[in-house]
Amino acid sequence: MTTALPARIARFAELRILLVVVAFAAVMTAYDPQFLSSATINTILLYLFGYAIMACGMTVLLVSGGFDLSVGSVSALAAMVAAMLMKDPSIQLPWPVAMLIGLATGAALGLFNGLIVARLGINPFITTLGTMLLARGLTYIVSGGVGRSGFDPSFCWLGQGLIARVQMPIIVSLALVIVADVLLRKSRFFRQNYYIGGNEQAAWLSGIAVNRIKVLNYGLSGTLAALAGLLFAARLDSAMPNAGEGDELKVITAVIVGGASLAGGKGTVLGAFLGCLLLAMIRPAISFLPIEDHWEKAVVGTILLIAVILDRLGRRA
Amino acid sequence: MNDLGVALQVVGLSKRFGVVQALIDVDLAVRAGEVHALVGENGAGKSTLIHILAGALQPDAGRIMLSGHETRFRTAHEALSSGIAAVFQELSLVGTLSVAENILANRQPVNRLNLIRSAELRRRAQQALRVFDVDIDPDRLVERLPVAERQVVEIVKAVSARPCVLLLDEPTSSLTQRETAKLFSLIRQLRQQGVAIVYISHHLPEVLELADRVTVLRDGRHVETRSADQVTENDLIRLMVGRELRDIYGRRGAVRLEGAARLRVEGLSRPGAFENVDLEVRSGEIVGVAGLVGAGRTELGRALFGAEPHTSGHLLIDGEPVQLRTPADAMRAGVAYVSEDRKEQGLYLPHSVRDNLAAPRLERFSTGWGWIRDGMIDDYARRARDRFGVVTPDVHQLVDRLSGGNQQKVLLAAWIGIEPRVLIADEPTRGVDVGARTEIYGHLRDLAANGAAVLLISSDLQEILGMSDRIVVMRSGRIVARFGRDEATEQAIITAALGAADGADAGAPAGIAEEGAP
């Protein structure tokens, strides 16, 4: 490749969000050196692992022009299904089997979304809003509204164990982010999503199997949401019917702050991860500053608005 | 004709879209109490003109005078409140509302609390419908109506605003004969009442039956205005054609007449779109498909690419029968399709030139494991850019930022890039400047010279005549005429496309059947 380096850096889409993340961390560290301590970093990464996992699927969806509001509820339902299969006296399946069934639950709900959106052409917002309510309701119905806990220690290790002093969920989420980023950048199958999001009609006329890819995207999003929910349950040794409430909006916010667009056709997993990182730094930052916790939502909202306004102004120039 | 003076006058109207000059210095005067027909080829500027009159488009230059007072409409609403009502080809109805609500849109009768008086609304709509003497329930939702009845509702809506100028763009295209007759009697009634009516139609017998005067537009210019009783159909056709011939089409190659057909179409049909189409395109040949907008050319082109279904008939490529259910099938069989609508159906506007060029052949840029080889795409894109003369310094430039001509070159380059055996090019030079057109013609010729079969769908008669080895003309979904490269003339093609009676008996029986509603 002969492209000059400056041009390649200018095309590095995540540059802006990366600079913001670095600048934010630098300012906070200047204010209080404790901000970059390993304890704070650990807190930040543990806070964001679930969002980062769900953001992988959400990025692929947004790139293809899709959207998924159901991830929070699906993560709760998948975790609850697995927890009950492990704990309820009449069943008591071994944890790997229960976990697989939990993942399959997420995949099934995702494929269900995908079939409705792709085959029937129903708006993804409405479709996944319906699934979001349905999955949350089912979680309460099957659990009777009470949580489950006291899981097999090997299961809990997935959420609490350490490898080389790094927490398991952090390892899993970072590994997934790297794999998803490379796949979306470099594999033909995932690259087709940029074409679908850029112009769905043209993509179909270019011979791309638009519907099949859309269905699989939702399936992937549901599976990753289930994985996030399972790791969360393992971490807390508890599956709660209200787990993951509101996660969908946080994930979508992070992915858009990271450079994706609801109009489709753009975005990267790395950008989405940096978006998660930026939003995850706000809560600890506020705890370092002499202001109240109530500020978090307002700050997140402001960042989202600034991100989309800058994006729009940048496109006009 | 009731001569009540000039109701609507247009002086020096000009409008350009990018490189295309749609209207150049057009003058037009429409008298009150007259039916004034506008005729011309596809793209002559008729629709642009009435869209400006209706306030839907802004002119670049020129004046519009209504009853002698200069006016300027910034919106369709302003035009309407000045007494200009329009019925366009694309309908303006809201499908989810009732017929009555559509007819009285924006003029619903209200009570003191500003709430709609439904009974009154219904009564007034019924009254408006009665004028047209049709049996349409004012409470029905418009989306439940057949197309012809929607057209009627649209016309009733325009007329019920009691306009002093009524603009009608192809109002009979989806009407049956009976409804057309009713429309004509309504138009004559309005003429009696002193309404000025501008009437666009491709159907010349209809024009001569109804109009008092006829204005011919050609290439965005006003050619002539004549009294309808002093012209024949043939006169009009002569005025509509006769554009300057420019030598931009290059030299025809030799067609290998002996070989079997590359593309063979046998009895291809889909009722309502195209019927019983037989067609052959040989290796090295460019076959032009002419016809009016809506004649079924695009539907046929898309069906040959698997982008639209057909209900019967066969397709053969190099003698092999093929089943094309999706574009992917067609591409595997070696068929490429350049869409008429590059922005909606061709290009990926938010993406780069290189990503656009790679779109139809991603498979060839990936390893056995499905990894994309970006370096290979970059090299390929630079070569394609140079070969097709796409003016951009960097293939990573967004295609959205290119001019129309360069965008069209990117689209053509992407599809020629799959090395097709058959290329279907639908309006490949629409909205493109002369320089880029010449280059596009050259690439189509090269492709044919290398053995591909090219099907060129175009509304530009000069292009069809200049490029094609053979020409077929479609009307109402059927091929109605075929010409060899030396027998075709502009006049012969237009005559076939319009379905006008040939030669001697011009001014044929009025109101010959449109093929009726689909």
Report ipTM (2 d.p.).
Answer: 0.85
Residues in B closer than 8 angstroms to A189, CB to CB, are 370
- C-alpha A109/C-alpha A74 separation (Å) is 7
* Residue-range domain boundaries for chain A: 42-285+295-316
- Average pLDDT for residues A141-166, to the nearest whole number? 93
CATH number of A42-285+295-316: 1.10.3470
> Among A138-142, A291-295, B412-416, whose mean pLDDT is lowest?
A291-295
Q: Radius of gyration over alpha carbons of chain A, in Å?
A: 20
> Who contacts A63 (Cβ-Cβ below 8 Å, separation ≥6)?
A184, A193, A194, A197, A260, A264, A265, A266, A267
d(CA B137, CA B133): 12
- Partner residue facing A186 (CB), from B351, B372, B394: B372
> Which residue of A lies nearest to B399 if distances are taken between CA atoms?
A198
Q: Searching chain A, which residue's CA lies closest to the CA of residue B352?
A: A198
**B327/A194 touch (CB, cutoff 8 Å), yes or no:** no
Taking CA atoms, what residue in A is nearest to B398? A315
Chain A CB contacts of B366 below 8 Å? 187-188
What does the pLDDT read at residue B356? 96
Which among B330, B351, B372 has the least Cβ separation from residue A198? B351
pLDDT value of position A1: 41
Could you tell me which chain A residue has the CA closest to the CA of B373? A186
Who wins on pLDDT, B241 or A299? A299
Does B417 reach chain A within 8 Å, measured CB to CB?
no
Domains and CATH numbers, chain B: 1-83+163-244 (3.40.50.300), 89-162 (no CATH), 263-503 (3.40.50.300)
pLDDT digits (tens, 9 = 90+) for A176-195: 999 999 999 999 999 999 99
Which of B331, B339, B348 to substitute to test the interface with A, most A CBs within 10 Å?
A: B348
CA distance B229 to chain A (A): 48
The predicted-structure confidence for B454-474, as pLDDT tens digits, reads as follows 999 998 888 899 999 999 999
Note whether B348 contacts A186, CB cutoff 8 Å: no
pLDDT at position B517 is: 35
pLDDT of residue B475: 93
Beta-carbon separation of B345 and A199 below 8 A = yes
With a cut of 70, which residues of chain B have pLDDT below it? Answer: 1-4, 242-247, 252-260, 500-518
Residue A159's pLDDT is 92
User: Which tens digit of pLDDT belongs to each residue from A66-114?
Assistant: 999 999 999 999 999 999 999 988 888 999 999 999 999 999 999 999 9
Chain A nearest C-alpha distance from B232 (Å):
45
Task: List, for residues B292-330, the tens digit of each pLDDT value.
Answer: 888 899 999 999 999 999 999 999 999 999 999 999 999
| Per-residue pLDDT tens over the stretch A10-63 | 566 788 889 999 999 999 999 999 888 888 898 899 999 999 999 999 999 999
